[in-house]
Chains A and B, each alone.
Chain A
């Protein structure tokens, strides 16, 4: 391993460690701006996490060890996923043929344990949340795979590195239509997987309508901090996938590329913020329909490239 790759590796890990909460901060700020408020500072999510880490913990009497495993697994999976996905033009530290499948399935692992932890509390609301989570994410699964197929067809490679680094502006020339469809589909999945509006509202106060937030009602203190951090990391990882798909800019100069990556990520956060502030939450019954629509978009894009 040469020197530069070692440095890039370190940068990669540091970014994955420290940048995710910032996205939440940016999103919050954007929404505040749209609402005409000043809003919390960009670093507010960091403050929250630190404060939560210092608090004590309350465990529900009904819970068992499964409840505690939930946040841990969620964070671990997100972290491993972060090591598999390339940031911008820079390849990921770990990469091998078929890693995209692992990437997709890691989220399933995290989800399984999050849902189990939620159901362990025996609260009907958390039950609702996990039931919804289970169904919606299993509807979102195929979309991701269609995206992977399209990318690996375009790039002729079977690993995330190859797929995403080869989707340069060149690909747009001959497969623009399918990439466009793909971006549409993937954006929906991005929002759904991270429980953003229009699927879910992270800071609503009506538990009956929530998905992700209602699953973590009973986590408190450090556990909740871990969950918050894991959620932001997940957003970060999926976002990295998306921006590399949507804004594949590469200057060729390594440090400039890092800058580009950070910039595009922040841009993505702003976009999400805009969407959240201009759109309303969907009715729950509409959610599956939107997800299926995303799947259809992605499927079309696949058919366009493999016919």
Chain B
């Protein structure tokens, strides 16, 4: 299909750039239009059209091996401001366009301006700004321009996050996010400064142009890890992530989690392309950080009771998996084992694509759920599947996919990573990498716990609170994005080899050494087998279903209340709730997951009514960072005595300064 498009004379890069700009400007008319809702409709239509133009053109750019350069004219003294789209950028552009379009469509039903007069305009405007800044970021090749777009992205995300700033927790989340992202930006200041010191200009270096052995390179890598890692949410830089994703409007959380985190990963990818000889240490650090992030992230997710917090923690987990893949690939580069490089990168990039499908799907789903039940607390939901069967189906697809279970897309990417680990057994170097496999398996198992908890406590059983008792099916504008994403998840799951072909150009541009290898064909054929099994599985399920229903037609089908094992007075509240479901797992992993538990105090022979509340804590934030801040506050308060309002002492300061400078001068 793209050959025909290539025939058309218009340059795809130009199309992509203008699409990004259109998305950025989409929200502006709404700021001035008097009539509510008109602006929202306009921006949605514009965004979707732009995305429809942008997606094929970025696909084209992905497969065409030419990269065109556009130079922006600006008056700033940091060299030319260039926009380039190479396959790596093009690959990352896909989720940007897809998810932002889906989100803006979702917003029409989820955040209608009829109900949110005051906030809708700002929300729409900053949403467009966020989407387009992410797109432009991927094209920026001038460090300072990159930094600017980066910060525009971060700030617009902040303003989106504090949309409902009358709520205390939203403000708190916003502040934490802002501080975290700004600290990350400070690290990026260092990063670009040292890059400039290394290359002599603020342009990003070309692939493989730097040596990684100089100490400056180490500083650059560290700064990149801190600056970009803070955005991506790699532990221990993830502190802002759960509360931010939980408190933003759902479609914003979808974009933040589905796309914005990937921008941090993009930064790390881009940085690693600069160096032609990364030392083993870098790969090792990334791998360890990745697997630890994955394990801790999913462990936190298991413990959550807040629907969106759970999703946020699982984002941390997925970022961890991707980072592991990247780290493994880097180890492969350093040790010159090509299959490892290929499989690591393929797994990581494919998982980036997958995560940007099923995570937005789940966040949109959570939006619909919150819309229907009016709460984020999973312990208060239940039985929503009857009210909203379609959303239930889509969310089920998402949950299965995110657990990395066949035949959905999550499995395909993890499968490639597993292959990479096992491959190392026959290579005689780094065979210890294979020990990552059981850890990844554990992560998968915990993911099953977390998401069966999510799904069952939200959709299954009977409603646990009056709020959830009468759910309503989401509107069409909310269902459509869900349907599209769910379909894509299934598609990639059943024919992963196609997705692998999508990933390949990005891999080649990351590590040119792989350009002339037979790996794509080899692993493509393996994935063919995989999709065969997938199809087999589906057909088998269908066959069994048909048989069963044929059987049911003959037999008599009655319906009765659930058998209560003799307890006839069972109410909805004796169901296993979300917290109860994960209690065993949490107790097993109590070393990782800390919980604040308020147990009821039993007194007397007949203790009265009481309740036991346990809620998971942000270990790092609440036990380490917050105390540090208070400590700093105290010490600063002590130092402030310097400004005590005593005139003669002020005079003494002046005199002392004069005296010291005199002594220094002579």
Contacts and interface: CB of A to CB of B under 8 A. Distances in A.
B559 A60 contact: yes
A124 B576 contact: yes
Contact of A76 (B400, B455, B537, B583): B537
B422 interface: yes
Contact of B565 (A57, A59, A153, A217): A217
Interface of A: 53-66, 68, 71-73, 75-77, 79-80, 83-84, 94, 96-99, 101-102, 104-106, 108-109, 111-112, 115-116, 119-128, 130-132, 134-135, 137-139, 141-142, 144-146, 148-149, 152-153, 156, 158, 207, 217-218, 221-223, 226, 288, 295, 299, 302, 306
Nearest to B457: A119
Interface residue SS majority, chain A: helix
A207 B576 CA distance: 14
Interface string B571-590: 01011100011111100100
Interface of B: 382-383, 385-386, 389, 392, 396, 400, 403-406, 411, 415, 418-419, 422-423, 425-426, 431-432, 434-435, 437-439, 441-442, 444-446, 448-449, 451-453, 455-457, 459-462, 526, 529-530, 532-533, 536-537, 540-541, 544-545, 548, 551-552, 555-565, 570, 572, 574-576, 580-585, 588
Contacts of B404: 105
Contact of B558 (A56, A66, A158): A56
B529 A156 contact: no
Contacts of B406: 102, 105-106, 109
8 contacts: A57-B556, A59-B559, A62-B562, A76-B540, A116-B452, A116-B456, A127-B461, A135-B585
Contact of B562 (A56, A77, A122): A122
B576 A57 contact: no
Contacts of A79: 540
A96 B522 CA distance: 11
Nearest to A140: B445
A42 B588 CA distance: 40
B390 to A, nearest CB: 12
Closest 7 CB pairs of A and B: A127-B576, A138-B445, A122-B461, A119-B456, A96-B529, A142-B438, A56-B556
A86 B322 CA distance: 33
A112 B446 contact: no
Given A56-B558, A64-B385, A112-B403, A119 B425 contact: no
Contact of A135 (B411, B449, B558): B449
Given A98-B419, A119-B576, A105 B411 contact: yes
Contacts of B544: 72, 75-76, 226
B561 to A, nearest CB: 6
B570 A124 contact: yes
Given A94-B529, A122-B575, A134-B449, A101 B418 contact: yes
A59 B557 contact: yes
B437 A149 contact: yes
Contacts of A306: 425, 431-432, 434
B438 A108 contact: no
A139 B444 CA distance: 11
Contact of B560 (A60, A98, A101): A60
A156 B161 CA distance: 52
A60 B561 contact: yes
B413 to A, nearest CB: 12
Contacts of A119: 452, 456-457, 460-461, 576, 581
A73 B385 contact: no
Contact of A55 (B405, B555, B564, B581): B555
A152 B425 contact: yes
B548 A226 contact: yes
A102 B560 CA distance: 38
Contacts of B557: 56-59
A123 B565 contact: yes
A54 B555 contact: yes
Contact of B559 (A58, A97, A115): A58
B381 to A, nearest CB: 12
Contacts of B461: 62, 119-122, 127
Contacts of B449: 134-135, 138
A55 B537 CA distance: 27
Contacts of B565: 123, 125, 207, 217
A130 B452 contact: yes
Given A96-B526, A102-B533, A121-B461, A108 B561 contact: no
Contacts of B444: 105, 108, 141
B489 to A, nearest CB: 14
A199 to B, nearest CB: 14
